[in-house]
Structure 1
Amino acid sequence: MTDRSAHFAAVYALLRAAGDVADHWVQTDFCAQTKGATDEAPVTFVHEDTEEKTVSGTAEGRRACAWHVTTYTATQAAVVVAGARVLGIRLHPGALAAALTISAATHYAADRRVPGGLLETLAKATKKTRFYKMADYGINGSYALDQAWHHGWETVAAVVAARVGTTR
């Protein structure tokens, strides 16, 4: 195994673990519910503790998605930098920045989830509309396709970080 392949495997594992933590523990309930809001399809968020209601449209949806992606990317950056240090892996800062940019941009594109958005359009184009809309049998199709999208792009990001960025 080459250093690059080992670096790829380590960076991918770090990106993926951090992505799961960021998506499910770091992301706020408000961002999770509001990031796909539009003026045509507003979202009413009910605060868990106060029961206060907030109606969000396009501007709030974009801000919520941007904040989620910011915390997601910061979590990935912190975990990859710390993990690489512990593992003795030296990654080129520019390559790591490029990798994190790939992860962030593709995450925003998928998570905005406006009606007729990127993932729904891809599901339709690949004849997976029924799967995308499935929310039964313990499966949520749009969530499964969302996670597969993120995993795929994190793989590309890890290749960029390891291929371009490895220093000796």
Structure 2
Amino acid sequence: MSSATTFAAVFVALFAAHSVGDHWVQTHHQACAKGVPGWEGRIACVKHVLTLTATKAAALAALALVTGVRLAPLALLAGLGADALSHYWADRRTTLARLADAIGKGGFYQLGAPRPGHDDAPHLGTGAYALDQSWHIGWLFAAALIIAGAS
């Protein structure tokens, strides 16, 4: 299998697993607490990232089993590790918000957010969500390059 084909297959598997892991596997508590300051937030975020990474590893294992694609163990570890670290960093929330502010995207980050003290935006269509998911997808691309490049 060519490295381009391996990359494409790995990216698709990671993308699908990311969506499942970030929305179905993540618990309500993890989703609500992962951005909270202090140890409560850190622990919730670590638990989310661990289950998300396990979901991605399972998808890659299924990919290898069904298609016969060979994935180097160290490349898998490096790619999934880079993705997990980037996911934790973004999901602590203040980090991504500060990055958005620093590059002039603070207004977009706030788009659709509830007003303080109100729950008047009960949807996922916020700037914060869009920037969060695009950050994660960018790192899925990087992880797929790492995994496919060394496999």
**Paired residue secondary structure (1:104):** helix
User: Would you say 1:154 and 2:140 are equivalent positions?
Assistant: yes
CA distance in 1, matches of 2:101, 2:129: 15
Alignment of 1:16-165 (within 5 A): 16-38=15-37, 58-113=38-93, 117-135=94-112, 139-164=125-150
Higher strand fraction (1 or 2): 1
Matched residue count = 142
**Paired residue secondary structure (1:127):** coil
RMSD: 1.4
In the superposition, the TM-score normalised over structure 2's length comes to 0.90
Higher helix fraction (1 or 2): 2
Contact 1:11 1:84 in 2 (8 A): no
Q: Which residue of 2 aligns with 1:4?
A: 3
Q: Which runs of 5+ in 1 are unaligned?
A: 39-57
**Paired residue secondary structure (1:135):** coil
Shift in Å at residue 109 of structure 1?
0.2
Identity %: 48
Comparing 149-158 with 84-93, greater Cα deviation is found at 84-93
Amino acid at match of 1:146: D
Runs of 4+ in 1 over 4 A off after TM superposition: none
